Amino acid sequence: MSSFRRATVAGTAWLGPDVQEVRLEFDDGSAGRGIVLGELVGEVGRGDEVIANTTAVELGLGSGGYHFVLWNLSRLTLDVPSGGHIMKLRYTPLQLNVEAVEERLACDEGRPEDISGALEGMPVVAGTLHSQLPAVALAYKDARPGGRLVYIMTDGGSLPMKFSRTVRFLTEAGLLYSTVTCGNAFGGEYEAVNIFGALVAAREVCGADAAVVLMGPGIVGTGSAVGFTGMEQGTVINAAGSLGGRPIAIARITFGDSRERHLGLSHHTVSALKYGACLPATVPIPKMSGSKRERVWSQIKRSGIEETHRVLEVDGESVLGLIEQSGHNPTVMGRTPAEEPEFFMAAGAAGYAAAQPDDRR
């Protein structure tokens, strides 16, 4: 059962442009933290009465412990400036209109109908978790300081990009050249209808040298072989390959997870590459030693993914030092790079691979 509760705003703080964190006091005397997305709700102030969606917190889900403010009862109407006529969150009470970047592409005179080579060999790094983003960006910038890396956020996790502290950090640090939100995700510098349009826009509108495609914070999973939103990794690989890009898949590798299906090479990686990806991708595996290396490579052999994809060892260890020096503190399922180094090394290995020329050409 979804829960919507009335609360009073007891305090506010700005997390970023158009994003507020608020202290909520509910009618039953309980309290909690809330998020206000200005492009949907407008600004709230201390003493305002609001309606908050409390479902995720009550279910103990990974929304960061936040409630989400749905409406400010202190106002009867709200007009939020926006442009374009493409709707996101379509046919829901929170639908909003945006200008889709594909509309610009459609207006180009003389544009060829066949865009199978539109990406011109551009590396496209595809992963399954938002926490992989900083390692990819840091490694790519380390190997190619002048390279323009564009982040494409899908709608597999958080829909508003502004919910991500990681994106704010990487953008302010100059590690991301531009951002695109596709599907029903919103809030990027550019909005796209789907991943195909987002990739073409990253190359032709943003001028990207490389793109990294990951969902926003949070992932939906059921424990089944294909019932998780990270299956989109296969779709991204297919889109990148069909448009003339160079797909690079991030392997999800963890050793601190208590769940057997995620120990070593996660079943998420195997399923996305085996059942989701119809076109080949490069899959960088970080250099490891001992039983960890043995486990991961035996899982690769058993999975059969080498029959379709190019799996190779890449040194990703230096990204751990880059993360520490950056001052940003990423975690995966609450575990730090010191506790789960192979996870971040794998993402870093993909970033390093994207910065290198394609040696198969």
**Over the stretch 251-289, which tens digit does the pLDDT of each residue have?**
999 998 888 888 999 999 999 999 999 999 999 999 999
Share above pLDDT 90 across residues of the chain, in percent, rounded to a whole number: 82
Going by their DSSP bridges, the two strands 149-154 and 210-215 should be labelled as: parallel
DSSP H or E stretch at residue 6:
strand 4-16
Q: What is the pLDDT of residues 203-256, one digit of tens each?
A: 999 999 999 999 999 998 888 989 999 999 999 999 999 999 999 999 999 998
Taking 80 as the threshold, does the pLDDT of residue 335 lie above it?
A: yes
pLDDT at 110 (0 to 100): 61
Average pLDDT over residues 182-201: 97
Query: Cβ distance 276 to 302 under 8 Å?
Result: no
Output the CATH code of domain 4-72.
2.40.50.840
Domain ranges of the chain: 4-72, 111-355
pLDDT at 257 (0 to 100): 85
Taking 70 as the threshold, does the pLDDT of residue 112 lie above it?
A: no
Query: Cβ distance 253 to 343 under 8 Å?
Result: yes
Q: The dihedral of CA 14, 19, 23, 25: what is its sign?
A: positive
Output Rg (C-alpha) for the chain, integer angstroms: 21
Structural domain 111-355, CATH architecture: 3-Layer(aba) Sandwich (3.40)
Average pLDDT over residues 341-360: 92
Q: Confidence class of residue 296 from pLDDT cuts 50, 70 and 90?
A: very high
d(CA 86, CA 263): 42
pLDDT at 360 (0 to 100): 56
Average pLDDT, the chain: 93
DSSP H or E stretch at residue 286:
strand 282-286
Give pTM, 2 decimals: 0.94
Q: What is the pLDDT of residues 13-66, one digit of tens each?
A: 998 888 999 999 999 999 999 999 998 999 999 999 999 999 989 888 766 689
d(CA 271, CA 214): 16
Q: Look up residue 212 and give its two tokens.
A: 């990294």
Taking 50 as the threshold, does the pLDDT of residue 169 lie above it?
A: yes
Q: Confidence class of residue 326 from pLDDT cuts 50, 70 and 90?
A: very high
Q: Would you give the DSSP letter of residue 176?
A: -
Share above pLDDT 70 across residues of the chain, in percent, rounded to a whole number: 97
Average pLDDT over residues 330-341: 94
pLDDT at 109 (0 to 100): 59
Angle (deg, nearest 10), helices 195-204 and 232-242: 50
Chain centroid offset of residue 286 CA: 21
> Do the domains 4-72 and 111-355 sit in the same CATH topology, yes or no?
no
d(CA 196, CA 239): 6
Q: Look up residue 247 and give its two tokens.
A: 């797909």
